[in-house]
Structures are given as structure tokens and as C-alpha cells.
Structure 1
Amino acid sequence: MHVERDVEKGVLRLHQRKYCEGLAEKYGLQDGGKPATPLPSGFTVEPCADEEVVVGLEYSGVRQRLQRGAADVKSGEMLLSCYTDASFNSVKADGTSIVGYVCLLGGGAVSWRSKKQNEVGLSSCETEYMALHHGAKEVVWLRRLLEELGVGQEKPTVVFCDNESAVKLAKNACLHGLTKHIRPKWHWVRRLLDKEVRLEIVKTHQQAADIFTKRLAEADHWKGMKLAGMSVH
């Protein structure tokens, strides 16, 4: 991870161009094309047990994104926020889902993750609830780090989720037939409410974590990058 500082604009820029160029050189893609997105919308690869398949398109796409995309953290009001999302049953091989989150500080992404779940969620509500858990863990750690750096957060950090049922499940501790099977560890987020975390519902078209859970068409991908505080160069 490389950090550039623009004193005049009051901006810290985080990017991975050097790492990206290393990937391109490793796989002989220095002069390759530059696709509009890392992967086309709806693209799938069947797993192969006997060989490792390296597809040039994916690495060229990564190269394009890391060359032109960077997280910009701007000086001013350093408020931490987080977006969490999940793509239900997106891994057809085993029925698991992809969850993701992105944490923003000063309008720029400072922490993000895309993760294949180890457990199978039985509904979109359940998988989104798991995503809340992962995002909340990162928020707690970042709040402690910022406090040590003298940028403590006075109010609970807002965590945005586009699944109303998942937000209601986090705020309502009662159990019923559709949720009583959920493992206790996923309910940890409830302990944080109104202390370190405040949950809010966000519209899907404003969901900054969407790009971390699924492949999107070009226009949606670029929009997602901007929502996640990633500038384009």
C-alpha cells in the first residue's frame, strides 16, 4: 500500500500501483489491454481440482483498477462510517454468500474487505446480518486505533445496511421461528448499539459496499467506487 500526501489540497491518497504493476509483470501482462471492470457482470469460473487457471482478463482488470483508483482521505471532520453488504447464495458450488464492508474516514475508504462466508445463510436477512457482524468488528478496532491517534470518535459510528430485516433483527433481541437457529456469535453486534455503533438503513443505489460483494456492470462499478470514497485518476 502506497500513501501520497497532497498538502495543498489536504488529501492523503492510498493506492497499490506498485503491487499492481508487479502482478502485471509476473503474469506477462505489461502490454495487455485494460478492461473497463475487473470482471464482466455475471462472469463465473468453474473450479478445477487438477490445475490452476489464470485468466489474463482478471489480472488486466485488477491492473486497470489499481492504476486509476485511489482512496482519498480529506482533512476536516474526521468522522468514521461503515457500509456493509452481502450477495446472498452467490457461491453456487456450496450455497454460501459473499459479504463485504468498507469503512470511510474523512470521505475516503481506509479499510475494506470482501469475504466468502464459511457458513450458509438461509436468507438474505441472515447473510446481511453476518455482514453487519464483520463490519462492526472492524469499526470497533478502527475506533480504538483512532483514539490512540488522537482522533477519537465522540458519537457512535454509523453503520449502513440496505437490508431492513437485518437491521430490525439487530435491534430486536426476541427470537422467532425464522431466526432462532442463528448462532449466538452473530448477535454480538447488539451489544454495540448506541454505544459504539448506530445502525441506519441505506438505499441500495447508495450502498458503498456493493462492489465488494458482486461483479457489476461498468457504470455501476464506477459509481460504487465513488460511493466508497475511491477517486479515479
Structure 2
Amino acid sequence: MEHLKTFLLKRFRIKDLGDLKYFLGIEFSRSKKGIFMSQRKYALDILQDSGLLGACLDNFPMEQNLKLTPTDGALLHDPTKYRRLVGRLIYLTVTRPDIAYSVRTLSEFMHQPRKPHWDTALRILKYVKGTPGQGLLFPASNNLALKAFCDSDWGGCRATRRSVTGYCVFLGNALISWKSKKQTNVSRSSAEAEYRAMANTCLELTWLRYILQDLKVLQTVPVPLFCDNQAALYIAANPVFHERTKHIEIDCHIVREKLQAGMISPSYVPTRFQLADVFTKALGKDQFVTLRDKLGLHDIHSPT
């Protein structure tokens, strides 16, 4: 490291600022346990600008089974305020996977936000107010083996009946990648929706394996890919196409190619242990808190 810094200093006008502590609104804390990453100051700035520093707290970001639509409720007189708030919340998801689903849902209504959308955004802020310093811990001691969870709802969008894909990827015990995204096609069954989620997760795992390979962190065994839909697992394991899987043939090829190459190992996990569930739907308090804690989110600012 010293040799590299000396080499760079001779050729560029740079300054060594020491260990990383604050960068682009993200705070870093180091200890013997590892590196902790959060956006506490950024979250408090959002609350202050929104006038919610004194608001009551909410224990989870979105009301359970809430279904927002583009037509319900009165239009906002000033949509710019909504768009700015949602944009800031999107950046907050860099270290806050627990609000990824809620923020993704609100971002669908940027073109014509309404009163229920604004109320939901304020609820997310009230949840963030209770945990402004929450973030991700990257342990100093880790086994550096990948594992992934993928899930999907089925036809959750009332307007388009499209499903939502959710996945999260761990490197050892550290959460390094997650996503909540609406699928591009309408799925004709829950198995199809889950299988499309598996295909998207396979692509993410392929990308991560290449990055880790460049960093000399080789993945010598297939990556466990946990899914809570037995039918989707059967489709992945069965090399025979039939009438019910014709329309998802391309995704089938992607998953089976990775399976036959020994890159993934699909496995069943009960729904109550499916960590990606938090990225596909609005959950109740108990289930949300349980899954959030299992994702490895911590708050070093909370009282002990």
C-alpha cells in the first residue's frame, strides 16, 4: 500500500487523508469487529428538511399489504416536493435495504403523485427517525462464501398485475447486494414469477463471482440459492420442457445453464426464513423486524 501511494503521489496531485470516515453522505466506522457503514447524518438532514424531527415513530416503513395505485387519492399541488423526497430516500437505500421495497414502490408514482403516496413517504421518514444510524456491518472475520435468497410476489401490482422480484446476496455474513424490482412481464403463475426471480438472481451472482475472481476470492463450490417455491425448484431441476414452461423458456435456459455449470445450487427454504421476502411486499411489524435483523443491519448509535 505504501509503495502504491508513493507511486501515485509522484504522478498526481493527491493527498492522503488516512482511513475513510465520511464520503458522499456515507459514514464509516472501524473497529476490531469490522467496518460499519451508515448514513446517519444524511437521514437526519432529510428529517430536518421535512420538519419531522419531532414526529412520532413508526416501527416499520409501510402498512402491511398496502397496495398503492396511480389513481386513488387527490393529486398533490406541488409534485416537486414529493419527487425530491423520494429521490433522497432512494440514495438512503445505499445502506438501508430495509426500506428498499417501500422506496421502490413510491418511485413508481413520480410522474403524478397523490395524497396516499405522500402519506406513505412520511411514514417511511417516521420509521427512519427511530433508526437513523442503522447500517451495514462488514465483519473483519468472514468465510467469504457467497449465498443468495430470491423471492417474488405474484401479480402484486394492481394496475399492471406484474410481480415484484426481490433478492439479497451475502458474502459470508455480510450483505453485499440486494434488489427490489418490478418484473417486465406478467407471470401466469406464482411458479413463473418465482422462476423469473431466480433468473435475475443468477445474473447477479454471475457478476459477483467475476468481481470476486478479479479480487482473488475464488468461489470453489456452487453458490446456495434459496427459494421458497417448490415448483420453481422442480422447473430448475427438470431438463425437459413442457407446455406449461414454454413461455419462460429463456429464463429456464439461464438458470439451468448456471446449474449445470456448477455455479449455483438451488435449495428450498421455508417462507418464514425467506430473507428476500422483505423486498417483495409490505410486511407486518413482527415479521419485518425479524427479517431486518437477519439481514445483518445494526445500529451502533443505539443504547446498549
Q: TM-score, normalised by structure 2?
A: 0.70
Q: Could you give the per-residue CA deviations for residues 130-178 of structure 1, whole angstroms, max 9, x where no partner exists?
A: 1111111111111111122222211121111111111111121211222
Helix, strand or coil at the partner of 1:85: strand
Note if contact 2:168-2:275 (Cα within 8 Å) is conserved in structure 1. yes
Note if contact 1:104-1:229 (Cα within 8 Å) is conserved in structure 2. no
Instruction: Give the structure 1 partner of residue 273 of structure 2.
Output: 206
Note if contact 1:83-1:161 (Cα within 8 Å) is conserved in structure 2. yes
Shift of the alpha carbon at 1:230? 2.1
1:47 matched to 2:70? The reply is yes
Instruction: Give the structure 2 partner of residue 177 of structure 1.
Output: 243
Alignment of 1:15-30 (within 5 A): 15-30=38-53
1 or 2, which has the higher strand percentage?
A: 1
Shift of the alpha carbon at 1:29? 2.2
Distance change in 2, residues 1:135/1:26 (3 Å): farther
1 or 2, which has the higher helix percentage?
A: 2
Instruction: Give the structure 1 partner of residue 99 of structure 2.
Output: none
Q: Could you give the per-residue CA deviations for residues 2-35 of structure 1, whole angstroms, max 9, x where no partner exists?
A: 35343322x2223333443343234332322220
1:36 matched to 2:56? The reply is no
Instruction: Give the structure 1 partner of residue 223 of structure 2.
Output: 157
Note if contact 2:40-2:134 (Cα within 8 Å) is conserved in structure 1. no
Q: TM-score, normalised by structure 1?
A: 0.89
Shift of the alpha carbon at 1:109? 1.1
Shift of the alpha carbon at 1:68? 5.0
Please tell me the residue identity of whatever aligns with 2:216: G
Decide which of 152, 155, 166 is 1:100's aligned counterpart: 166
Decide which of 142, 146, 151 is 1:85's aligned counterpart: 151
Shift of the alpha carbon at 1:189? 1.6
Please tell me the residue identity of whatever aligns with 1:14: M
Alignment of 1:51-200 (within 5 A): 51=76, 52-53=113-114, 54-55=118-119, 56-65=122-131, 67=132, 69-74=134-139, 75-193=141-259, 194-200=261-267
Note if contact 1:82-1:159 (Cα within 8 Å) is conserved in structure 2. yes
Decide which of 7, 28, 44 is 1:4's aligned counterpart: 28
Identity percentage over the alignment?
29
Instruction: Give the structure 2 partner of residue 219 of structure 1.
Output: 286
Shift of the alpha carbon at 1:186? 4.9
Note if contact 2:27-2:40 (Cα within 8 Å) is conserved in structure 1. no
Please tell me the residue identity of whatever aligns with 1:206: F
Q: Could you give the per-residue CA deviations for residues 66-122 of structure 1, whole angstroms, max 9, x where no partner exists?
A: x25322222231111110000111111111111100011121211111011121111
Shift of the alpha carbon at 1:185? 4.0
Note if contact 2:144-2:217 (Cα within 8 Å) is conserved in structure 1. yes
Please tell me the residue identity of whatever aligns with 1:219: D
Q: Larger Cα Rg: Structure 1 or Structure 2?
A: 2
Instruction: Count the aligned residue pairs.
Output: 231
